Amino acid sequence: MLATDRPAATVSTAERSRRRTLARSAFITAAFIAPAVVVRTLGLHPDPVIALLIFGAAVVSASFLLAWAAEAAQIDVSGGMATAVLALIAVLPEYAVDLYYAYVSGHNADYTQYAAANMTGSNRLLMGLGWPVVVLVSIVVARKAGSQRATGLALQPSNRVELGFLLIAGIIAFAIPASGQIHFGLGLALLAWFGFYLYKVGHGDVEEPDLIGTAAALGELPDRRRRIVVVSLFLASGAVILLCAKPFADNLVAAGTELGIDRFLLVQWLAPLASEAPEFIVATIFAARGKGTAAIATLISSKVNQWTLLIGSLPIAHLLGGGGFSLQLDPRQVEEVLLTATQTMMGVALLLALRFQRGAACALLALFVVQFPIATTHGRLLLCGVYTAVAVVALVRYRRNLPATVRAPFLGTAVRHSGHPHHPVPDP
């Protein structure tokens, strides 16, 4: 009798745990989203700093909802088209604000600088902070587990495909600082390259999704109910992001004026940090759980998305907003793009041997931090020179791996990691 009672009790306990997880996540996210919806719906205009906090919190919460839904959706969908759809959905929070700036720049030239600022900030934040933190956390975890000689992370051979896509996209992107503009034709080329990337990862070997936290609770729902909930989360989070993107972007600029902070820098760093917070948290948690290789692979994939899809979309949004066929950049913006491009080349060059060493992580992090006191053209160009010098040294050192990396996007197939382009998202 006792033997037959245990499974029932176990199932009942699991069910209660799942309900608590879903209820807690729904309550927390709703608590942060509700104020933004109320303010937006009633047409209220609070102080810019207060409004920035309200709408920023809503964007972050909606990002969690979107990520949970995308993870759970992997149970029901597969293949290249599903990969493309989930990838486009998952990047919505990161790109909504930047595309709004690019759109407004079509009829208000003052917003061009903000489109460039958000794009360069998100790219540099991901590679300069996200990548190194995952590696350093992974090393600490490995040493605590008894591997005293751990000095970095080993990437999978399949990751050479992502590196190849990023390397070629990075080279193409040097056309931006060289010409002083992001042309519509260049945008189409980068979007096509992103489409080819999705095709490659969509036709690779598919790993089973490794769901945790709220995503796992969603995945355990009965099929019909899960699909309804997932679709509802997609629609709700998308609506919140679209509802909040404009006021968040506008109040970000207004808050900079009120606080006396450089608006360019505020848009460059605060907006990307808010939209990418879930991804950074997830990657760090996975590294802390000994899954650093999977975490860094996901961040590399995200960098490919940013350096192709995001940049490629900007001139299109600019054109739709009433601008011409090119997004013209001023000298400061050109310097920022050049800085981002040289950082990208350094990051790729350091990983050509499929090893992310502690020294490489520290170098990326140190150069990321040192940029903030730099406020002159001379200083930014000097930092570009440092990035370039390190990239050249790494390219020479790992020159035997360079041909294989360039060929990788055109040969074989890639492994589509679970949760592409994001890994499972835990509870907030």
Task: Give the pLDDT confidence of 224-274 residue by residue, as tens digits.
Answer: 898 899 889 988 988 998 899 889 989 988 998 888 888 888 889 888 887
The CA distance from 413 to 71, in Å, is 22
- In order of 44, 158, 288, the CA distances from 134 in angstroms are 41, 19, 8
Helix (H) or strand (E) holding 155: none
Highest-confidence segment of 199-203, 215-219, 304-308, 388-392: 388-392
Q: Is residue 331 pLDDT above 90, yes or no? A: yes
- Report the predicted TM-score, pTM, of the whole model to 2 decimal places: 0.83
Q: Is residue 324 pLDDT above 80, yes or no? A: yes
Q: How many CA atoms lie within 13 A of 339 on its CB side?
A: 31
Q: Is residue 24 pLDDT above 60, yes or no? A: yes
- Residues of the chain above pLDDT 70, percent: 87
> Is the backbone of residue 290 left (phi > 0), alpha (psi -120 to 50) or beta?
left
Contact in structure between 87 and 198 (CB atoms under 8 Å): yes
Q: Is residue 284 pLDDT above 90, yes or no? A: no
Rg of the chain over Cα atoms, rounded to whole angstroms, equals 22
Helix (H) or strand (E) holding 355: strand 355-357
3-state secondary structure at position 152: strand
What average pLDDT score do residues 136-162 get?
Answer: 85
What average pLDDT score do residues 37-50 get?
Answer: 92
Per-residue pLDDT, 412: 58
Highest-confidence segment of 40-44, 84-88, 179-183: 179-183
User: Each residue of 345-354: pLDDT tens digit?
Assistant: 999 999 999 9
Per-residue pLDDT, 203: 65
Instruction: Give me the residue label for tokens 């090119």.
Output: 326
What average pLDDT score do residues 172-199 get?
Answer: 94
3-state secondary structure at position 252: helix
Fill in the DSSP letter of residue 354: S
Contact in structure between 274 and 60 (CB atoms under 8 Å): yes
Q: By mean pLDDT, which of 27-36, 295-304, 397-406 is the weakest?
A: 295-304
3-state helix, strand, coil in the chain (%, to 5): 75, 5, 20
pLDDT, mean over the chain: 85
Q: Is residue 152 pLDDT above 70, yes or no? A: yes
Residue spans of beta strands (DSSP E) within 118-265: 152-154, 181-183
Amino acid present at 165: F
* Closest by Cα among 50, 61, 426, 12 to 240: 61
Q: Is residue 185 pLDDT above 90, yes or no? A: yes
Higher pLDDT: 100 or 66? It is 100
- Residues of the chain above pLDDT 90, percent: 51
Per-residue pLDDT, 37: 94
Contact in structure between 158 and 204 (CB atoms under 8 Å): yes
Q: What's the pLDDT band for 91 if we cut at 50, 70, 90? A: low
Provide the greatest CA pair distance for the chain. Answer: 80
Per-residue pLDDT, 201: 78
3-state secondary structure at position 422: coil
Peptide bond into 421 cis (omega under 30): yes
Number of C-beta neighbours around residue 361 at 10 A: 23
The CA distance from 212 to 216, in Å, is 5
- In order of 6, 238, 264, 332, the CA distances from 113 in angstroms are 63, 26, 7, 9
For the chain, give the number of residues.
428
User: Each residue of 398-423: pLDDT tens digit?
Assistant: 999 999 999 999 985 544 444 444 44
Q: Is residue 133 pLDDT above 90, yes or no? A: yes
Contact in structure between 55 and 249 (CB atoms under 8 Å): no
- In order of 9, 88, 122, 346, 410, the CA distances from 414 in angstroms are 43, 19, 25, 23, 10
User: Each residue of 93-123: pLDDT tens digit?
Assistant: 778 889 999 999 999 998 999 999 989 998 9
